[in-house]
Structure 1
Amino acid sequence: MNNRLSHFFSRVDSYHIYVVFFYFSAFMMLYITTFGMYWSWVEYNVTGTINIGEIIVKNDLLFEGAGKLVSYLAVFSVITWYCVTKIGYKRVQNTPKIVRSVLSVLALVLITVSAYEFVYNFTVWGSLITVNTMNNYLNVDDININYPNPETPWNLVFATKMTLAALIISCHAFFVINRAGKKSTIYVKKN
């Protein structure tokens, strides 16, 4: 049995592993997003208000205690991005330098924006947890902020976790883009 298993793994290319993980993660992202959008639409029809991210913060994946959907969405977003970069890395290497430079600057802008939003959301979330604790009320999943639109509040758990995922993805994108440009300069050519 062990010999057959090692033979199987010796034949499997890492490319195929990344493709399988990509499709699984993309499917889970689609499932969680569809679930959240559908039940947000139902809640909007009943109450007339919508709270961005609240549905996937208050629901667990398969059963109570299995983990919040928003946590899985953030993790699967990062896994999907990582698999995409592993699957398509050769295309990034063959991209012209001017395009890589533009993408690098764009990734740097995304890093700046997502870092700011993550720190902002995390700070506001922590502050509101402290205020609620002092008022003898603690439910970290039920904290919302009426920003940027007062009529459409955002759940701070959702905002914090998704901006953290965006920060990780944009940092990795910056790394991959810049590494692709330096790949040819790592090796010294023999004369």
Structure 2
Amino acid sequence: MKSIMVKELMVPLSEYATVAEEASLYEAVVALEVAQEKFDKSAERDKHRAVLVFDKDQQIIGKVSQLDVLRSLEPKYEEMGDMKAISRFGWSADFVKSMLSNYGLWEKPLQDICKKAAQKKVKDLMVTYSEGEYVAENATLDEAIHLLVMGNHQSLLVTRDKSIIGILRLTDVFREVCGMIKACAL
């Protein structure tokens, strides 16, 4: 059986939502919306869920995910530390709910918070990529799955030489694997 290569499943960078690091959150939301409308025409794929961020040299330096946007609405989350580490403690629903009042979270009306957030710079809320979030276009799907699982990533940047040429999304990998499971069961 032929190995599936990353480049067969990746979304080319030209089809993905991107903004400059100096862009506002409003501009990022609009860019995501435009990319989703274009991408929707291909029923095989899910909508984009993140915006890639590029620097002045047009190099991808990070991304803003749905969770990053929501987290940025309430700056007090930064006082709480590493949210990924905190979420693994398995706290009770009552304890998590009590954090709303203990930290004074979400005290202002959501519309007011969103109005203020629209002006935030993308560079202030983006997440930068780490070394384990890159995969070569000629890598096998097996290798990419390993990187996704071990890093608990939603996507990987696809590279050719040292240039980023696309993004491999967990949702596309999952769809491919589900198709293989169904095909093997027949």
| TM-based fold match above 0.5 | no
TM-score by length of 2: 0.29
The structure where helix makes up a greater share of residues is 1
Task: Decide which structure has the larger Cα Rg and report it.
Answer: 1
Larger RCO (CA under 8 A, 6+ residues apart): 2
The structure where strand makes up a greater share of residues is 2
